[in-house]
Amino acid sequence: MKLQRKNRVRALAVGALAVSGALALSACGSDNTSGGPGGSSSAKAANIKCDGKGKLLASGSSAQKNAMDVWVQNYAGACQGTEINYQPTGSGAGVTTFLQGQTAFAGSDSPLKPEEIAKSKTVCKGGEAIDLPMVGGPVAVGYNVPGVDGLVLDAPTLAKIFDSQITNWNDEAIKKLNPGAKLPDLKIQAFHRSDDSGTTDNFTKYLKAASGGAWKHEPAKKWEGTGGQAASGSAGVSSQVKQTSGAISYFELSYATAGKIPTVKISTGATAPVEATVDNASKAIAEAQPAGQGNDLALKLNYTTKAEGAYPITLVTNEIVCDKGNKADTLPATKSFLTYVASKDGQDALKALGYAPLPTEIADKVRKTVATLS
């Protein structure tokens, strides 16, 4: 049974990678008897409290798309008559759509800005938008360099690669970090996100914080680096890396795992370079500090960690909702779905997909806050 469950999860992740662009993830439990990779619908039904009927619209972060695939399928297996439609349009687009009052919640890999919280008061009648951390994990740097395994890079070198200052794979800076590797005389093909992306925001926050001044641009959801090539969404940039010799880009570990794309080990100043794994990302996320006010649970990540085994390029995807003033027709289903997502069952489904479950203390706060939404 455990083997079957793992195979189902792996198959779903691979299938998710093959779909690019804005994908509507619809879940209506009328014909679903499998309950998804997490187990049978009857098993899940006992752990999911189903409230509300009809369609729940949401959009945003493509980083959490593979997690949403599993959550939506499991929820549909338990809750008849509720349709969850999540479109992975990117964090920036998701926040914009939410602030226009078009969705019940949004996914964003960057916390809300003060001006976004202020604007949300027109949508959240009597309240305001808040961040609920829900999905953690490493931002992997995937590469396609024939004959090179176990590539090591550091923040200054990555900054120069993605700002077109280092343009060939046999550059001396890369050689110094990889003694003994047979680095080819091959042009670097750096890919970045074309859409406004929380993954880009987190990646450039790392470059700015850890590169010692090599990254000259301000962190942002919109790509500000010099040169390179663009593709839409995590699925877009990861597929470009997989098919392009000399390519390098940044995307969530689940895309690297599903596409069998090798990932860079990061030299952080610890005794050994750190691999992009769920456990190593969890060590870095554990150093995050609270950054929100009131019911806002936004976190400030430590991109300059030198802790042994802590992978520094991480992100936390937030589900953005109104603390008060949520739409009455979708509030019951929103609370029901987010309660499941933040539950132990919901979080336990993440690790096999390349995500990091929330630390227990943070997950407890999220569950308590979801219960108070009105």
Question: pLDDT tens, 78-137?
Answer: 998 899 999 999 999 999 999 999 999 999 999 999 999 999 999 999 999 999 999 999
Mean predicted lDDT score pLDDT of the chain: 88
Distances from the Cα of 71 to the Cα of 21, 130, 240, angstroms: 20, 21, 27
Q: With bands split at pLDDT 50, 70 and 90, how would you rate the model's confidence at 351?
A: confident
Average pLDDT over residues 17-37: 35
Q: What local confidence, expressed as pLDDT, does residue 283 receive?
A: 93
Q: Which of 44-53, 175-184, 323-332 has the lowest mean pLDDT?
A: 44-53
Mean pLDDT confidence for 275-300 = 94
pLDDT at 39 over 90: no
Q: What pLDDT does 10 receive?
A: 41
Q: Is the pLDDT of residue 57 over 60?
A: yes
Q: pLDDT band at 359, cuts 50/70/90?
A: confident
What pairs with residue 267 in β-bridges?
Answer: 154
pLDDT given at position 142:
98
pLDDT tens, position by position, 133-145:
999 999 999 999 9
177 pLDDT more than 60: yes
Name the residue among 52, 61, 40 with its Cα closest to residue 330.
52
Triad 346, 69, 26: Cα angle to 5°: 115
Determine contact, residues 66/348, Cβ cutoff 8 Å: no
Per-residue confidence at 38, pLDDT binned at 50, 70, 90?
very low
| Res 20 pLDDT > 60 | no
Q: Residue 23 has what pLDDT?
A: 33
Q: Which amino acid is at 189?
A: Q
- Are residues 116 and 99 in contact, defined by beta-carbon separation less than 8 angstroms? yes
Q: Write out pLDDT tens, residues 186-219.
A: 999 999 999 999 999 999 999 999 999 999 999 9
Contact 253, 354 (CB under 8 A): yes
pTM above 0.95, yes or no: no
Q: What pLDDT was estimated at residue 143? A: 98
pLDDT digits (tens, 9 = 90+) for 222-233: 999 999 999 999
Least confident range from 2-6, 140-144, 284-288, 353-357: namely 2-6
Residue 8 scores a pLDDT above 90: no
pLDDT band for 72, please (50, 70, 90 cuts): very high
Residue range 246-268: average pLDDT?
96
Model confidence at 9, pLDDT cuts 50, 70, 90, reads: very low
Confidence (pLDDT) at 309: 97
pLDDT score of 4 more than 90:
no
Report residue 15's pLDDT band, with 50, 70 and 90 as the boundaries: very low
Give the residue-averaged pLDDT of 153-182: 98
pLDDT category at 24 given cuts 50, 70, 90 is: very low
Task: Tell me how far apart the alpha carbons of residues 323 and 295 are, in angstroms, rounded to a whole number.
Answer: 7
